[in-house]
Structure 1
């Protein structure tokens, strides 16, 4: 399974913010939209990711206050990325290796979407469920062996 398969099923809703926006506005957007990340874009380019992890780090560092900080001061300015053709096993390895919960999907310099650890886990579970159904149907429809050896008496 490729990243393109997940994005096709997930849809193309994408939430972005500029790096010079107030961090408080980012928090409001994330809460209002019930999302865990925002892609930080500047002049049409990906310049960072902002997740609740970065926000929590700011809160811990500044005594629970966001103050007048800007998104730029809290964002991850070097997020790991993948492409539409990246295999899901590789995405899992990358996310686990970097403790990333969200990964921007790029096509050259164009942002195509974001996959979350939830999206990856859901795709794996859905794929396994489909395989299980196929295997159960195969076993249920197993042809009887007409040439079975007779039982000894």
Structure 2
């Protein structure tokens, strides 16, 4: 496992990007239905237009929940020995700026640390920034921890 960890450590500090994903009103409405969060700023375009947002916005938790999908398009080092990855949680999550319906978002991912936790288990820590196309402020910043079993 030392060879694998050394190879992964060589990736520390590199920025990798996901593909862009359009966060549309249908996605927002479906998330509202799944979470029972039907606050008007998410689901009522007419009322939301009169707010400082100027229209409907994605739930912060929707943006967070898109991370697994966004990560599927991020180029990752090949880890043939890994049997299973487990979401271990987040050290930090901040919802910096709302994602307006119809806007595109992507994840910028930086590997911060990787370490062996137990025999045949290692943990990676990644800083994630969800960017909004043509918006200087990110939608979300987070520190995500994942465990892998070899």
Normalising TM by the smaller chain, what interval? under 0.3
Q: Work out which structure has the larger RCO, using CA pairs closer than 8 Å and 6 or more positions apart in sequence.
A: 2
TM-score (norm 1): 0.26
Larger Rg: 1
Q: Which has the higher strand share?
A: 2
